[in-house]
Amino acid sequence: MFIGSNLTNLRIMHGYSRKQLAEMLGVTEQAVWQYENEYTAPKLQTINELKRIFHVKNKYFYHQDKLATGTKSANINITNIAYRSKILNTIYKTQAEAKHVEYLDAFIDDITSGVRIPSLQIIHLRDEVIAYLNASQDDRTTQIYRVAELARTSLGMAKDHNKDLIFLIEKSGVFIFEKAIGEKIDAYSLWTQNNRPYIILGNLKRSSVRRHFDIAHELGHLLLHYRMEFTHMDRKEHKTIEEEANLFAGAFLLPEAEFISDMKNVKRPTQPDSYIDLKKKWTTSIQALGYRAAHLGIIDTRERRNFYAALHRKSYLQIEPLDEVLPVPKPTRIKTIIDLIATKGMLDLRQMIEHEWNVDIEFFYKMTGIELSFFQKYMTDKANSNLYNVTSMEDRLVTAKQ
């Protein structure tokens, strides 16, 4: 029997309305509604087209999907998604991203089942931040600077560079993925109801320094704005929390004492090209360097205006020096976990993809942002011929260095 909710889940995750999907299938919008509500079943030709659109197997529509076998929907609160975006997002777009994270959450449950994960450092840090904010009488800017300092120390960041940023945040317990979110959205983040933190990064034309700022910005949301109902905020409230996350990102990426010392060597602080060496050192944009200098009072209001005017003249708000040279960091935690547990015989990825999820590897590429070649190497019998069963709980402890 055709399971309509499976189609609904796929459609929402891909961001299609019923009308859009109907046009792709060559049927009426009413027909799609009937499929999803199980009043009628699609013909074989339509099933084949659905398989092609969503990269799933035929049997995907006749067995309960991974979202139905767990409690993923209840675990993802749509109101808790924090966007790094140029626009206030519609509920429709947010629903698509929430459904995407439901699938990711089910995937992570599968690959970590039977694995003992050490206590998550990010949760301890979050709790420390909440305790501090609840007890603090400091003004909000001081609070944000203090939280940034706590985060940098807790994550084990170096005092004079950010080269290990994505590795250390993933190591702390944050799950980071890439996705083609769209041109208007840079990134988003959320905590699930079972305290699993996610950062989803856009993968369109991102430079290394923009990616670092996106990650730091979303970390700020995870720590400063825990479980806030973002979708209920008006434009002014949304602007305020975005400014707080930006302030956190600047303080986190550019620790005060070291940065003030660095600025002593910047002879012309109103000239963006004077910051190129610092950009290389901190892997942080020239714009963010000037932003931080202004907030610390290193440059005054007039100098800040001159700095931003120079940014505009040089078109550095679109692309800066070194943007095409510095390598863009990539999330690696999930790939490392899969490699480790596959080697230990705890996972047959081909079996999971084709017979448990009932999908093609293109589905996993779209869901995780991990390149197809990574999944392809596990899709032959030879790739799994050396796997062996692990039965002891001691052997099931996975310690991953990304």
Instruction: Judge whether 373 lies within some domain.
Output: yes
The pLDDT value recorded for residue 346 is 86
User: At how many degrees (to 10) do helices 140-155 and 208-224 cross?
Assistant: 110
- 172 falls in which pLDDT band (50, 70, 90)? very high
Instruction: Answer whether residue 97 shows pLDDT above 80.
Output: yes
Mean of the pLDDT values across residues 45-62?
Answer: 96
The pLDDT value recorded for residue 386 is 41
Classify residue 315 as left (phi > 0), alpha (psi -120 to 50) or beta. left
Instruction: Judge whether 329 lies within some domain.
Output: no
Mean of the pLDDT values across residues 44-53?
Answer: 97
| Structure-token pair, residue 292 | 């931080």
Yes or no: say if 319 and 154 are a contact pair by the CB < 8 Å rule: no
Do strands 175-179 and 185-191 pair parallel, antiparallel, or not at all (unpaired)?
unpaired
Measured on CA atoms in the order 215, 220, 225, 230, is the torsion positive or negative?
Answer: negative
**Do residues 274 and 179 both lie within one domain?**
yes
**Do residues 288 and 149 both lie within one domain?**
yes
- 358 falls in which pLDDT band (50, 70, 90)? very high
Instruction: Judge whether 71 lies within some domain.
Output: no
**Do residues 305 and 366 both lie within one domain?**
no
Domain boundary among 313, 333, 354: 313
**Do residues 263 and 377 both lie within one domain?**
no
Instruction: Answer whether residue 385 shows pLDDT above 60.
Output: no
The pLDDT value recorded for residue 395 is 37
Instruction: Answer whether residue 361 shows pLDDT above 90.
Output: yes
Task: Return the SS3 of 47.
Answer: helix
Instruction: Judge whether 72 lies within some domain.
Output: no
**Do residues 137 and 227 both lie within one domain?**
yes
Domain boundary among 268, 298, 313: 313
- 304 falls in which pLDDT band (50, 70, 90)? very high
Instruction: Answer whether residue 221 shows pLDDT above 50.
Output: yes
Tell me how many domains the chain contains.
3
**Do residues 206 and 277 both lie within one domain?**
yes
Q: Which residue has the higher pLDDT, 71 or 380?
A: 380
**Do residues 261 and 146 both lie within one domain?**
yes
Mean pLDDT of the chain: 88
**Do residues 47 and 159 both lie within one domain?**
no
Which is nearest to 328 in space by CA: 174, 192, 210? 210
**Do residues 233 and 295 both lie within one domain?**
yes
The pLDDT value recorded for residue 398 is 45
Q: Which of 12-21, 55-64, 87-96, 278-287 has the lowest mean pLDDT?
A: 87-96
Out of 159-173, 183-197, 223-237, the most confident range is 159-173
Q: Which of 41-50, 179-188, 232-241, 273-282 has the lowest mean pLDDT?
A: 179-188
The pLDDT value recorded for residue 379 is 86
**Do residues 151 and 293 both lie within one domain?**
yes
Residue 47's domain comprises 1-65
Give the pLDDT confidence of 250-265 residue by residue, as tens digits: 999 999 999 999 999 9
Instruction: Judge whether 332 lies within some domain.
Output: no
Distances (CA, A) of 270 to 65, 213, 255, 369: 57, 21, 21, 39
Do strands 197-202 and 82-85 pair parallel, antiparallel, or not at all (unpaired)?
unpaired
Strand order in the sheet with 175-179: 82-85, 185-191, 197-202, 175-179
Question: How many angstroms separate the CA atoms of 157 and 78, rounded?
Answer: 31
Instruction: Judge whether 114 lies within some domain.
Output: no
Instruction: Judge whether 280 lies within some domain.
Output: yes
Give the pLDDT confidence of 277-297 residue by residue, as tens digits: 999 999 999 999 999 999 999
CA atoms within 13 A on the CB side of 196: 19
Instruction: Judge whether 172 lies within some domain.
Output: yes
Percent of the chain with pLDDT over 90: 71
**Going by C-beta distance under 8 Å and a sequence separation of 6 or more, which residues neighbour residue 148?**
220, 248, 251, 252
Domain boundary among 43, 65, 87: 65
**Do residues 48 and 171 both lie within one domain?**
no
**Do residues 16 and 58 both lie within one domain?**
yes
Question: How many angstroms separate the CA atoms of 248 and 242, rounded?
Answer: 10
Residue 58, domain CATH:
1.10.260.40
Mean of the pLDDT values across residues 121-125?
Answer: 96
pTM: 0.90
The pLDDT value recorded for residue 381 is 56
